[in-house]
Structure 1
Amino acid sequence: MALSKATFLITALRLAGKLPLRGAQLIGRFLGMISWMSKSQYRTVTDINLKICLPELTDDQHDRMVRSSLRHTGQTLMEIPLMWEWPVERCLGLIHEIEGEELLAEAKKDGRGLLLLAPHLGNWELTGLYFSSRYRMAALYSPPHIREFEDYMIQVRGRMGSELVRGDRRGLARLITLLREGEVAGILPDQSPRGKGNAYAPFFDMEVRTMTLVSKLLQKSGAKPLVTYSERLKDGEGFRLVIRECEPGIADPDPVTATTALNKSIEDVVREVPEQYQWEYKRFRHRPPGLPHPYRPGRVCK
């Protein structure tokens, strides 16, 4: 059954990968509006997250932001097949502007490694493809539930030579080695980590479990951290790649100091284009024990 699911999924992705950008984005916006009109779980989670993170919005502004977020997430979903199936040169041709490129040159001039933090903002698949086309790069990933799909995912994401490593002990050791050698590594830093060894830090003023992996990698490798995202331009015109400095303290040995700086670095870029952030993700499901659970009214976090 797993093989048939993988075959179906890969075939669907390859068919969707034949779409032009405007067509894929149009379908994505349509899917987002269906999610809005059907009062889906994604709409509910987006509504909750935006009330937590952007309470200053008026009711009208809030509703528009929820709809816009759902449309952008739909577009991201439909853009992934293009990023995986289009020729690399065609994908990179969608980037019409790069802001902060001088930070890359500055970070690489002394031979230090570079740790790229790419939140779920805009089109993160295009961001990874751009950097893997320029540098010897490794990216952390979580294996998909469908085992046979993993080979396809590694193949398409690594077609510019990017090395995909699992988030286990061996994979993390590999990242540290590459960073110490002056290479580049990429991480999606805004996921809700499981298990012990992480810290609680504010994200949009709400305490939430946050990965300490970033600070540990920086401490062990001496790499330079930068935060980056690909902003979606209007009317299918492509993307703008943005590179920003991280907040001071992100490599601090104190886990709370480091994770607070990490979350602030993410928050700063999210506020630049909030409608393009993946608010549909339950980022606040792991809060300090005993505090109210944002997504389960009447229950507390454990």
Structure 2
Amino acid sequence: MALSRISLLTGLLKLASKLSLRSAQNLGAILGLLGWKLPTESRRVTQVNLDICFPDMPESDRKALGRESMKQTGRTMLEIPLMWEWPVERCLDLIREIEGEALLEQYRADGRGLILLAPHLGNWELAGLYFSSRYRMAALYSPPHLPEFEDYMIRVRGRLGSELVRGDRRGLAQLIGLLRDGGVAGILPDQSPRGKGNAYAPFFGMDVRTMTLVAKLLQKSGAAALITYAERLPDARGFRIVIRECEPGLDDADPVVATRALNASVERCVRRIPAQYQWEYKRMRHRPPGLPNPYKAK
């Protein structure tokens, strides 16, 4: 049964990869708009997040932003088969601009390791392909809910030699070794981490559980960090790779200081192109003890 589900899923991905970028984005926008029109969980979570993060925005503007966000998320979902199945060169040809490339070269000049923080903004799969085409790279990932799908995901994401490592003790040791040796590590910094050993820091004004992993990796490896995303350009013109400096304090020994800097770095990028952020994700679900989960019914 599991194998037949995997075969169906990979078959659908391969079929979707036959689309052009414009067709994939148009179809994705239609699916996203349908998810907004219907009483879906994605719409509800999007509205909760936008109410929290943009309380001073007029309600009509928040709804317009939510509608556009769902369309952009639909585009991202339909672009993923292209990023996974197209030849790498064809994917990289979609990159029209690179903003901050001089900053990247500056940080790589001294041979130190580099952590690239890639939030769920724009097309993070293309950002990963771009950097793995240039550097010896490893990326932290969470195993999919279907274990049999993991081999496929590792193969398509690592077809330029990028190594995918799990977020366990062994995987973290691999990342530290790679960074100490001058390599590059990619991390999605805006996930809501599980378990102990993390800290609470404000994200758009609300204290939420935030990973301390980035600070620990920086402290143990001596690496530097930048934040990046692949911004979707209008009219299916392709993408702009954006590379920016992080807020100061990311490597601070105080986990509160470090996580505040991490969330502030992500928030600054999100505010630049808010419609392309994945607002359908329950980023605010883990709050300090005693405070309510905003996604649960009152």
On whether the aligned pair clears a TM of 0.5, the verdict is: yes
Residue deviations 1:6-41, cap 9 Å, x none?
Answer: 111011001101110000001100001110111211
Counterparts of 1:52 and 1:29 in 2: how far apart (Å)? 25
Using the TM superposition, give the Cα deviation of residue 293 of structure 1 relative to its aligned residue in structure 2, in angstroms.
1.8
Using the TM superposition, give the Cα deviation of residue 237 of structure 1 relative to its aligned residue in structure 2, in angstroms.
0.5
Counterparts of 1:95 and 1:57 in 2: how far apart (Å)? 32
In the TM superposition, structure 1's runs of 4+ consecutive aligned residues that sit over 2 Å from their partners are: none
Counterparts of 1:223 and 1:257 in 2: how far apart (Å)? 18
Residue deviations 1:131-156, cap 9 Å, x none?
Answer: 00000000001111212211110110
Letter in structure 2 aligned against 1:130: Y
Counterparts of 2:19 and 2:289 in 1: how far apart (Å)? 46
Q: How does 1:24-63 map to 2 (within 5 A)?
A: 24-63=24-63
Given that residues 2 and 147 in structure 1 are in contact (C-alpha distance below 8 angstroms), is that contact kept between their aligned partners in structure 2?
Answer: no
Counterparts of 2:297 and 2:39 in 1: how far apart (Å)? 18
Partner of 1:142: 142
Q: How does 1:1-302 map to 2 (within 5 A)?
A: 1-298=1-298
Given that residues 202 and 208 in structure 1 are in contact (C-alpha distance below 8 angstroms), is that contact kept between their aligned partners in structure 2?
Answer: yes
Letter in structure 1 aligned against 2:125: E
Count of residue correspondences: 298
Using the TM superposition, give the Cα deviation of residue 289 of structure 1 relative to its aligned residue in structure 2, in angstroms.
1.2
Counterparts of 1:8 and 1:236 in 2: how far apart (Å)? 28
Letter in structure 2 aligned against 1:119: P
Report sequence identity in percent.
Answer: 69
Counterparts of 1:295 and 1:289 in 2: how far apart (Å)? 16
Residue deviations 1:240-269, cap 9 Å, x none?
Answer: 000000000000000000000000000000
Residue deviations 1:44-100, cap 9 Å, x none?
Answer: 100000011111211221111000000000000000000000010110010100000
Counterparts of 1:149 and 1:42 in 2: how far apart (Å)? 24
Using the TM superposition, give the Cα deviation of residue 3 of structure 1 relative to its aligned residue in structure 2, in angstroms.
1.1
Given that residues 45 and 280 in structure 1 are in contact (C-alpha distance below 8 angstroms), is that contact kept between their aligned partners in structure 2?
Answer: yes
**SS of residue in 1 equivalent to 2:107:** helix
Given that residues 32 and 70 in structure 1 are in contact (C-alpha distance below 8 angstroms), is that contact kept between their aligned partners in structure 2?
Answer: yes
Counterparts of 1:270 and 1:74 in 2: how far apart (Å)? 18
CA RMSD of aligned residues (A): 0.6
Letter in structure 2 aligned against 1:125: E
**SS of residue in 1 equivalent to 2:207:** strand
**TM-score normalised by L of structure 2:** 0.99
Counterparts of 1:180 and 1:41 in 2: how far apart (Å)? 43
Structure 1 stretches lacking a partner, 5+ long:
none
Using the TM superposition, give the Cα deviation of residue 158 of structure 1 relative to its aligned residue in structure 2, in angstroms.
0.4
Letter in structure 2 aligned against 1:165: V
Counterparts of 1:144 and 1:35 in 2: how far apart (Å)? 23
**SS of residue in 2 equivalent to 1:179:** helix
Residue deviations 1:222-255, cap 9 Å, x none?
Answer: 1110000000000111000000000000000000
Counterparts of 2:252 and 2:260 in 1: how far apart (Å)? 10
Structure 1 stretch displaced more, 245-254 or 143-152: 143-152
Using the TM superposition, give the Cα deviation of residue 297 of structure 1 relative to its aligned residue in structure 2, in angstroms.
3.1
**SS of residue in 2 equivalent to 1:288:** coil
Structure 2 stretches lacking a partner, 5+ long:
none
Using the TM superposition, give the Cα deviation of residue 161 of structure 1 relative to its aligned residue in structure 2, in angstroms.
0.6
**SS of residue in 2 equivalent to 1:271:** helix
